[in-house]
Amino acid sequence: MDELKPSKEFLVWVVGVAIGTVGLMGWFSTNFVTIAKGVEISEVAHEADMVLSQQLVELAEEVKASNAMLMDHIEKEKLNVVLIEIKRNESEVFQITQFVSANGTNEQAEARLRQLRIDHTDLLLKRDCILNNNRLCN
């Protein structure tokens, strides 16, 4: 019976090997599974970053196109304002010249005509700058 009974030393070895095996498997599981999962997550994150980057590039191109159209619209509106001002200026010059021809010249009418002619020259220059898209005219 004594020969069949496991010795204390043998039991200590079996328990030690069992605990060591479980500990070693836990360590491998923690480190290698975590690293593999981390690599997998990193690859997924990198792919998602690439998709997001592409979407940002597309959005930036859309914004650039939208800004260009907006600037064209603003330039057209500026041109319309200048053209209206030119017509108003020419109309006022015509009215003053009609007044002068009917009533005779006076100092106030002459001063206003000089100012209108200067303004007309400036408006024509501004119109040409807008049409030629010359940024230096500002």
Q: Rounded to 5 degrees, what angle do the CA atoms 62, 74, 135 make?
A: 95
The pLDDT value given to residue 5: 59
Over the stretch 78-117, which tens digit does the pLDDT of each residue have?
A: 889 999 999 999 999 999 999 888 888 888 989 999 999 9
User: What's at 87, amino acid-wise?
Assistant: K
pTM: 0.52
User: Which residues are CB-contacts of 115 (< 8 A; sequence separation ≥ 6)?
Assistant: none
Q: Which of 1-15, 47-61, 75-89, 123-137 has the lowest mean pLDDT?
A: 1-15
Within a 13 Å sphere around the CA of 104, how many CA atoms are in the beta-carbon half? 1
State the Cα torsion 121-122-126-127 to the nearest 10°: -30
Banded model confidence at residue 1, pLDDT cuts 50, 70, 90: very low
Over the stretch 26-61, which tens digit does the pLDDT of each residue have?
A: 877 777 767 777 778 888 888 999 999 999 999 999
* Tokens coding 35: 């690293």
Averaged pLDDT for residues 123-138: 81
Domain ranges of the chain: 11-137
* Tokens coding 14: 């079996």
Residue, of 5 and 111, whose pLDDT is higher: 111
